[in-house]
Amino acid sequence: MFNAYIPSNSGVKKAIKKGRVLVDNEIAKTATWISFGQVIKLIEDPNKQPKVYKFNLEIVFEDEHIAVINKPAGITVSGNKFKTIANALLYNLRKSTQLDTLTIPTPIHRLDNQTSGILLIAKTKTAQIELGKQFKNQTIKKQYNAIVIGKTSTSKTINTPIEEKPSITNFEATNTVNSLKFKTLTAIKAFPKTGRTHQIRIHMASIGNPILGDKLYGNPATIHKGKGLFLCASKITFIHPSTKLQTTIKINLPQKFTSILTREERRWKSYNTPKL
């Protein structure tokens, strides 16, 4: 029985050499023979304390195997910075009691810094491997909601390659409003079949409908300051790595999505309504 988890054979060898592996409460050697029924324990390395960013996250779902959080816009998922989602997970999630529990819960995919919404987290090695396979095989279905500048087709498939790699995004328009500043704004649902960096942002800009608030791919003259990027990962469907059941998780959109459409339509009507 293990009270911690090492993901590789080389890691096990290093732990044994450092005296961190116990067999029946005695320090094991690389030559130690293991018999049926013996208890094997791993002592956590006191010199490797994980970074913990004390930042409250919205937990949408959590069990012993996985978690789903609602990532806020403006924070990076992982990387060299301290203030990341990855470093905040230990502060927010319960430690799994499974034998293959990960020392640090791990995001399975990424969202752009300015994108909000659903982020899938593995709490065990099994979950990390199984969900990784689903992403690789493109069987995980994701839905994003966005507000783009201009009027779009009712539905469309964009398959423009990104960095010479095949890239496919399907989208459908759900609402279009008039706007004094932007002329027209359209709310869309986007369904990426591939997962290229900035895929939805690049694809929508490529057809002349950049996402509202996109400073990288949008027109600088029409940047909506102060409200960030209007792109949210709102729904995900996958096979649960333990129960093997199809699981769908969705969240409500940030209030700013509804507010901007209502406000722009109201201003346009007010300006264009004849004065009596």
In a domain, 24, yes or no: yes
Q: What is the pLDDT of residue 5?
A: 52
The total number of structural domains in the chain stands at 3
In a domain, 250, yes or no: no
CB 253 within 8 A of CB 145: yes
Q: What is the pLDDT of residue 46?
A: 63
Give average pLDDT by consecutive 10-residue segment, the chain, 276 residues: 54 76 82 81 70 96 98 94 95 95 93 97 96 95 97 96 97 97 96 96 97 91 81 98 98 96 94 76
Are residues 186 and 266 located together in one domain of the fold? Answer: yes
Centroid of chain to Cα 136: 15
Are residues 94 and 158 located together in one domain of the fold? Answer: no
What is the CATH classification number for the domain harbouring 69?
A: 3.30.2350.10
Are residues 77 and 169 located together in one domain of the fold? Answer: no
Are residues 264 and 170 located together in one domain of the fold? Answer: yes
Are residues 179 and 266 located together in one domain of the fold? Answer: yes
In a domain, 55, yes or no: yes
Are residues 133 and 173 located together in one domain of the fold? Answer: no
Distance CA 62, CA 259 (A): 30
Our CA angle for 20, 22, 26, nearest 5°, is: 120
Beta bridge pairs of residue 241: none
Q: What is the pLDDT of residue 2?
A: 42
- Three-class DSSP category at 190: strand
In a domain, 14, yes or no: yes
CB 173 within 8 A of CB 154: yes
**pTM of the complete model:** 0.83
Are residues 195 and 263 located together in one domain of the fold? Answer: yes
24 is catalytic: no
- The one catalytic residue in 24, 45, 112, 214 is 112
Q: Which of 108, 137, 166 is the last residue of a domain?
A: 137
Q: What is the pLDDT of residue 1?
A: 38
In a domain, 239, yes or no: no
In a domain, 241, yes or no: no
Are residues 84 and 167 located together in one domain of the fold? Answer: no
Give the domain extent around 12. 1-49
